[in-house]
Structure 1
Amino acid sequence: MAEPVWSVDPRTGTRRVRVAGEATAAAVDAAVRAAHATRAALADRDRRVALLRAAADRLTQAGPELIAAADAETALGVPRLTGELARTTGQFLAFADEVLDGGALGVVIDHADPSATPPRPDLRRHKVPLGVVAVYAASNFPLAFSVPGGDTASALAAGCPVVVKAHPDHPETSERAAAALRLAAADAGLPEDVLTLVHGFRAGIDLIGHPLVTAAGFTGSVRGGRALFDTAAARPVPIPFYGELGSLNPVVVTERAARERAGEIGAGLAASMTLGTGQFCTKPGLVFVPRGEAGDALVAALAGQVAEAAPGVLLDAGMREAFVSGVAARAALDGVEAPVAPGPGADGTVVPGFLTVDAARLAADGPHDLLLDECFGPVTVVVRHDADADADADGPAAVLARLGGSLTATVHLAPSETGGEHTATGRALLAALTPLAGRVLVNGWPTGVAVTPAQHHGGPYPATTSLFTSVGATAIERWLRPVAYQSTPPALLPPELRDDNPLGLPRRVNGVRQGGGAGLNAPGQRG
């Protein structure tokens, strides 16, 4: 008999309702095979567009129930989840536009040239769907990075059926979202099994090993993601694993910036690090602040804002335990101070706070390396540095050189450093931060990911296990592979590669670009 799957209230730790049963190996096999059988139907571009648009409609219709369930299971709050639902539906509409645009197919045609030396054959290339995609739902975004999230939307847009492994923190939300998407498939005249859902830890392992699964998308911890990544690589037929794992998201504040707007930067940092009780993958976790009066003013402003932040509930008891023990271990290190102490609050809550440490303690291997690991929750580490010692252990450069990859990296500059007499400082800092992250920000905060064609939500390992983005138009590229046809008679060519271009796709013919639309035209949503 399958083990029960319970919906749990993180505010009280009590079970709400039994949602489903954990999937057995046979159930996972059935879910994958059912999804696999829908590939031919999903190849129809018009029906795929209809599915994506119907998904947005069905999710909107189910919005009140989805938001209520998600709030009950995550304690993220109705306002936050309302915005997340808008972002989620926006992603489906955006990918519908992307399918219509066709640019993601990368059509290239090089006609035969018998006069070339050696003679050149006719070559035509485009991209085709990989097949069944496994999606592992995230804990901290029960909509936008879970069952109806960007991985699912982009995979369906690519023509790939999806099997989602639900996250145990929000199983009821997962079931409701899956039901809405399956109804959308029926609305579009497609089999409902273009999306199937499984629950359970063992199901996740069985899923990544299934021979019909061709790729996987994951958002979660380094430990869990790396285990799945290694399993995907060790299969008899390895598959791509697009994992988003962990991110420190460093921020550097120059002395000139601190002198000019210490209060503004301190308040902005407080808002960013406590947003969603510090449970955003783009939370600024390591912040370089100069020593001296300007830096002291910034830290004082940060302390004032963080001290006023209300305690919050984390997504589950395990995350709370990890947060409490993690901040305690960091605060116990020599030379680490806690101007506002993070830690446990009353009634199962956690209290936001931040730690401070001198840059020299992080410039070489040692126990303080713990401060360079992500701590999930409302805490950040402020590194006090000597603005005139970039080449020394007291400057930020020595510490930045030791950091792993992040989703984001941010610099706060003064106007004179962005186009005035000290522009060289700004350029040098951007040059130092660019190798560390997939998105580099100037005078902003990394929490909030706009869904636009230019977005890149990824970064060097351990931020992600690939060079691709999981947000924005090019997220679809993860689920496509190129195929070239050589000297193929016109009657045998797929319509995407015919000379008469019946689908009206943008393409490059003999080196000349033809046609093309805007792609991902839906308004950007933030998460």
Structure 2
Amino acid sequence: MTYQPHGQHLIAGERLAGETRFTSHPVTGAGLEVSCGSADLVDRAVQAAEEAFWTFGYTSREDRAVLLETIAEEIEARGADITEIAMAESGLPQARLEGERGRTTGQLRMFADHIRKGDYLDRRHDPALPDRQPLPRPDLRLMQRPVGPVAVFGASNFPLAFSVAGGDTASALAAGCPVVVKGHEAHPGTGELVAEAIAAAVAKCGLPGGVFSLVQGGSREVGGALVTHPLIAAAGFTGSLAGGRALFDLCAQRPEPIPFFGELGSVNPMFLLPEAVTARGAELGAGWAGSLTMGVGQFCTNPGIAVVLEEQAEAVIEGAREVLAKTGAQVMLTEGIAEAYRKGTGQIAGAPGVREVLTSMCAGREAQPNLFVVSGKDWLGNHVLSDEVFGPLGLLVTVESVDEMAKVAQSFRGQLTVTLHMDKGDAALAGRLMPVLERKAGRVMANGFPTGVEVCDAMVHGGPYPASTNFGATSVGTMAIRRFLRPVCYQNIAEDLLPEDLR
């Protein structure tokens, strides 16, 4: 590895150290000594972002597109070192990280293309009607404008695509908003190197250094200081329900509340309809098991719940058990995630009416899959069973009738995804469930498994609470830029005073 991490913050292009340090806990190799973030460092970064906004917020779409493309190039130039550091810190395999790096640079370039087209500006013009009776109409023009400095939180489960240069950062920069990232303690070296790439791109494009800053973590103080800073205009977050809700509440309690776009998790239920199960029950069970264990179950679209008629359940159970039994222990992203998985597994196993199909327990940072079965009646009587267990745990809900299946569907809280597994003969039941499912989730899919999210124009990665804190937003896809824009109406404003894109 040619790059040696320095463990410092990167604020407006300058490396800075804090007064205290923490040591990271990589899967392999020695821990990195990292400077802890602080409220003072957050203030310095946000002040620089606010100063940069007066320039960056008024740059051309082409200038910002070039910045995004340059960031992608700088990340690619450091690709081998990024992969090596990320493998050591996260335990993720090389192929997964190289794919994630490609997704990261791909979405940067996607947003460059998106803003060049200009459709996201939603430009509108109602010309003046001076002779209208009984009152004349003024000249009215509307366009989306950037909101100001944005706070972004690095995610534990995606050290690249949802972290320092991830979708939140890409969409905020595309909108014209400077970004201050709070790095994740699980992969500080990876975050640092990606931050160096962004800072190099900012400098190469001749933009103010305050367009981007990275403040490392080390304590909860950093996140709280960031979202409560009076110059922060919005925040993007991917993480746990507890952590995200705490930050959401801080944003709402500010003297000037700001939007908090948190993606907080989901159990992503699947409904296995009768004709499909009759045709391929064991195959569905095996496919579910593969999706359930992908990435040690550490995807926010992990399908943790499947619902099936009780009389058809055995084929699905056997198909899943056969695959899960062959799945050995795997390393989870952090010791904290592994411990939370063990705790969540224990809560499910101890709930009334829950039957164990396949159970295992690992110590330390490793995890193995667990599979449980519960009746629809017991499911409906215990809301704890619908809580997300982040990891490779599956719960099969067996229902006595399609009416009970519909009741189970209605019982779910907000989800990122819901899935129908169906054949042609299931169309009537699927049609009955669809109005319920589309109210529950941001993405409704058929005959597939939800693990993985396509990065494109039509994607929605969000949903009703608690899947996310804002049901009208997405953290993946080009519509993500809307989170960091607001509409401004210009009434009777002279042509030379209008934004360039409205002239």
TM range (shorter): over 0.9
Which residue is 2:5 aligned to?
none
* Partners of 1:473 and 1:342 in 2: CA distance: 41
Equivalent of residue 416 in structure 1, options 425, 447, 457: 425
Equivalent of residue 407 in structure 2, options 373, 385, 398: 398
Equivalent of residue 17 in structure 1, options 15, 18, 32: 32
CA RMSD of aligned residues (A): 1.4
The one-letter code sitting in structure 1 at the alignment partner of 2:405 is P
* Partners of 2:497 and 2:76 in 1: CA distance: 42
Q: Does the CA contact (< 8 Å) of 2:153 and 2:163 recur in 1?
A: yes
Partner of 1:267: helix, strand, or coil? Answer: helix
Which residue is 1:478 aligned to?
483
Alignment partner of 1:57 is 2:73 = yes
Alignment partner of 1:434 is 2:451 = no
Spell out the pairing of 1:109-148 with structure 2 (5 A cutoff).
109-117=125-133, 118-148=135-165
The one-letter code sitting in structure 1 at the alignment partner of 2:205 is A
* Partners of 1:320 and 1:489 in 2: CA distance: 60
Shift of 1:491: 2.5
CA deviations 1:66-101 (Å, max 9, x no partner) are 111111111121111111111000000000011101
Partner of 1:37: helix, strand, or coil? Answer: helix
Partner of 1:153: helix, strand, or coil? Answer: helix
Structure 2 unaligned spans of 5+: 1-17
* Partners of 2:466 and 2:365 in 1: CA distance: 30
The one-letter code sitting in structure 2 at the alignment partner of 1:55 is I
Alignment partner of 1:306 is 2:324 = yes
Which residue is 1:514 aligned to?
none
Spell out the pairing of 1:286-365 with structure 2 (5 A cutoff).
286-292=305-311, 294-344=312-362, 348-364=365-381
Spell out the pairing of 1:371-520 with structure 2 (5 A cutoff).
371-386=385-400, 389-391=401-403, 395-417=404-426, 423-466=427-470, 467-498=472-503
Which residue is 1:285 aligned to?
304
The one-letter code sitting in structure 1 at the alignment partner of 2:469 is T
Stretch moving more, 463-472 or 309-318: 309-318
Alignment partner of 1:252 is 2:268 = no
Alignment partner of 1:33 is 2:47 = yes
Equivalent of residue 273 in structure 1, options 283, 292, 302: 292
Partner of 2:411: helix, strand, or coil? Answer: coil
Partner of 1:460: helix, strand, or coil? Answer: coil
Q: Does the CA contact (< 8 Å) of 2:104 and 2:165 recur in 1?
A: yes
Spell out the pairing of 1:85-104 with structure 2 (5 A cutoff).
85-104=101-120
Alignment partner of 1:198 is 2:215 = yes
Q: Does the CA contact (< 8 Å) of 2:344 and 2:389 recur in 1?
A: yes
Shift of 1:26: 1.4
Partner of 1:16: helix, strand, or coil? Answer: coil
* Partners of 2:360 and 2:482 in 1: CA distance: 41
The one-letter code sitting in structure 2 at the alignment partner of 1:286 is I
Partner of 1:433: helix, strand, or coil? Answer: helix
* Partners of 2:450 and 2:408 in 1: CA distance: 20
Shift of 1:326: 1.4
The one-letter code sitting in structure 1 at the alignment partner of 2:298 is Q
Q: Percent identity?
A: 43
Which residue is 2:11 aligned to?
none
* Partners of 2:244 and 2:289 in 1: CA distance: 29
Partner of 2:181: helix, strand, or coil? Answer: strand
The one-letter code sitting in structure 1 at the alignment partner of 2:478 is A
Shift of 1:15: 4.8
Spell out the pairing of 1:223-242 with structure 2 (5 A cutoff).
223-242=242-261
Equivalent of residue 214 in structure 1, options 233, 236, 241: 233
* Partners of 1:60 and 1:192 in 2: CA distance: 21
Shift of 1:225: 0.6
Shift of 1:156: 0.2
Stretch moving more, 229-238 or 334-343: 334-343
Q: Does the CA contact (< 8 Å) of 1:47 and 1:189 recur in 2?
A: no
Partner of 1:9: helix, strand, or coil? Answer: coil
Alignment partner of 1:72 is 2:88 = yes
* Partners of 2:431 and 2:71 in 1: CA distance: 44
The one-letter code sitting in structure 2 at the alignment partner of 1:197 is L
The one-letter code sitting in structure 2 at the alignment partner of 1:8 is H
* Partners of 1:307 and 1:78 in 2: CA distance: 25
* Partners of 2:151 and 2:141 in 1: CA distance: 30
Q: Does the CA contact (< 8 Å) of 1:307 and 1:353 recur in 2?
A: no
* Partners of 1:469 and 1:265 in 2: CA distance: 29
Q: Does the CA contact (< 8 Å) of 2:334 and 2:365 recur in 1?
A: no
The one-letter code sitting in structure 2 at the alignment partner of 1:84 is E
Q: TM-score, normalised by structure 1?
A: 0.89
* Partners of 2:206 and 2:497 in 1: CA distance: 27
Q: Does the CA contact (< 8 Å) of 1:408 and 1:441 recur in 2?
A: yes
Shift of 1:290: 1.9
Stretch moving more, 257-266 or 465-474: 257-266
The one-letter code sitting in structure 1 at the alignment partner of 2:47 is R
Shift of 1:210: 0.8
Partner of 2:32: helix, strand, or coil? Answer: strand
- Divergent runs of 4+, >6 A: none
Q: Does the CA contact (< 8 Å) of 1:306 and 1:352 recur in 2?
A: yes
* Partners of 2:278 and 2:151 in 1: CA distance: 49
CA deviations 1:365-399 (Å, max 9, x no partner) are xxx3221100011101111112xx233xxx22222
Partner of 1:38: helix, strand, or coil? Answer: helix
Alignment partner of 1:3 is 2:20 = yes
* Partners of 1:176 and 1:5 in 2: CA distance: 18
The one-letter code sitting in structure 2 at the alignment partner of 1:354 is L
Shift of 1:8: 1.3
Q: Does the CA contact (< 8 Å) of 1:5 and 1:171 recur in 2?
A: no
* Partners of 2:122 and 2:373 in 1: CA distance: 49
* Partners of 1:9 and 1:493 in 2: CA distance: 51
